[in-house]
Amino acid sequence: MSRAETTAGPGLQDGEQGQPLVGRQDSGRERLPAPPAPRAGRAVWTLGLFGSELLIVFRRVRTLALLAVLAGVPLLVGIAVRIETRDGSSVGGGDGGGPAFLEQISNNGLFLAFASLAATLPFFLPMAIGVVAGDAVAGEASTGTLRYLLVAPAGRTRLLLAKYASVLTFCVAATLVVVLSAVVVGFSLFPVGDVTLLSGNTVSLSDGILRGLLIALLVASSLIGLAALGLFISTLTDSGIGAMAATVGLLITIQIVNNIPQLHALQPYLFPHYWLSFADVMRAPVIWDGIVKNLALQALYAAVFGSAAWARFTTRDITS
């Protein structure tokens, strides 16, 4: 397939000559230099493509706004807990409601990171991913820049891979933004010390931070499946808004289905079903079953919808 695609470029059929070559509306796109040789430059090419995709994603005001909202969640949770526990009472009357790990925050600031991840993972984080993934291809199509992108002899498969890689990078960045914001807020508002695990065992703070890093990694990988799904939807339509709305709508629908007890037979196959398994890292001993299931499910979604996106994107006619 690669040979066919490296020659893919100039497929312009009828006259577009009269129209000026409209620049990408996203100021971030840097025009790529022409490849010196098809084979030797391939790796550089792919990296360059990935780099320019990353720039596009992260230079967008929309992306920065999403990250700002994500950074605000730990701040809000932290301030709320701080105010509520000022007089020594426990959060929410001590009935264990609210996000996981909420009760422990006032005694150990590190738990704000876990509580914030538990609070943002069901909707905030995946919604941000849905916006970025849904926009990846369809956004280019709706602004009319996709065909110019394909004029460069990068090949559709590699373009898609670069897009997916940039979405995955955003997954990691979004998770890290939540964690870092939570750590900064948590460490400045609350005492920090030895960490009591869910099982009641106490471990040192450094052990707790290591577990926190592992949790951040697991949360970021929990979004792999949704990223592929969003990318697939993005290849289906030429409307960027439509793809974002469809991805986020699908996410909300699936989250609702995932919480209807009568549909339990279906739930193990829904991508958010094992998302909260990251909390198992905080047990002693760590229970890996749910974590492994989560990663396998994400890999499956990535394989199915990634290949579906590839099938769609490499065979469709790009009309805009």
Partner 1 sequence: MALIQPAQPEAHEPGGGRRGRKAVRYAVPVAVVGVTAATIGLVPALADSGDPSLPSLTAEQIITKIAASDTQTVDGTVKISTDLGLPSVLSGGSGSSLFGGAVAPPSTGSRDGSRADPQRQFTQLLIGSHTLHVAVDGQDRQKVSIIESAAEYSLIHNGSQVWAYDSASNEAYHATAPAEAGEDRAHPRQAPSDAFPATPQAAAQQVLKAAQGTATITPDGTARVAGRSAYELLIRPQHASATTVDSIRIAVDSKTGVPLKFSLQPKGKGKAAIDIGYTKVSFDKPSASTFSFTPPKGAKVTEGRDTAREQKSPEGMSGLGEPTFIGSGWDTVAVFKAKGALPAAPEKNAKGGAASLLGGFGKQVSGSFGTGTLFHTRLVNVLLTQDGTVYAGAVDQSALTAAASGAAR
Residues forming the site for partner 1 (CB under 8 A) = 4-5, 7-8, 11-14, 16, 90, 94-104, 106-108, 118-119, 121-122, 147, 150-151, 156, 191, 193, 196, 198-202, 255, 259, 261, 276, 279, 283-285, 287, 300, 303-305, 307-308, 310-312, 314-320
**Which residues lie below 8 Å from residue 180, measured CB to CB, with a gap of 6+?**
71
State the Cα–Cα distance between residues 293 and 278, nearest whole angstrom: 11
Q: Which is nearer to partner 1, 214 or 308 (CB)?
A: 308
Q: Which is nearer to partner 1, 5 or 169 (CB)?
A: 5
Q: Minimum Å distance from CB 239 to partner 1? A: 17
State the Cα–Cα distance between residues 194 and 162, nearest whole angstrom: 42
Q: Which is nearer to partner 1, 164 or 305 (CB)?
A: 305
Q: Minimum Å distance from CB 205 to partner 1? A: 13
Helix (H, G, I), strand (E, B) or coil at 87: coil
Q: Say if residues 144 and 240 touch (Cβ distance below 8 Å).
A: no
- Written as six digits, the tokens of 30 are 């840097």
- Written as six digits, the tokens of 184 are 């900064």
Q: Minimum Å distance from CB 268 to partner 1? A: 9
Radius of gyration of the chain (CA): 22
Cis preceding-peptide flag for 285 (omega within 30 of 0): yes
Q: Which is nearer to partner 1, 25 or 59 (CB)?
A: 25
Q: Say if residues 72 and 183 touch (Cβ distance below 8 Å).
A: no
Q: Which is nearer to partner 1, 66 or 219 (CB)?
A: 219
Q: Minimum Å distance from CB 62 to partner 1? A: 26
Q: Which is nearer to partner 1, 19 or 61 (CB)?
A: 19
**Which residues lie below 8 Å from residue 96, measured CB to CB, with a gap of 6+?**
103
Q: Minimum Å distance from CB 209 to partner 1? A: 17
Q: Minimum Å distance from CB 43 to partner 1? A: 21
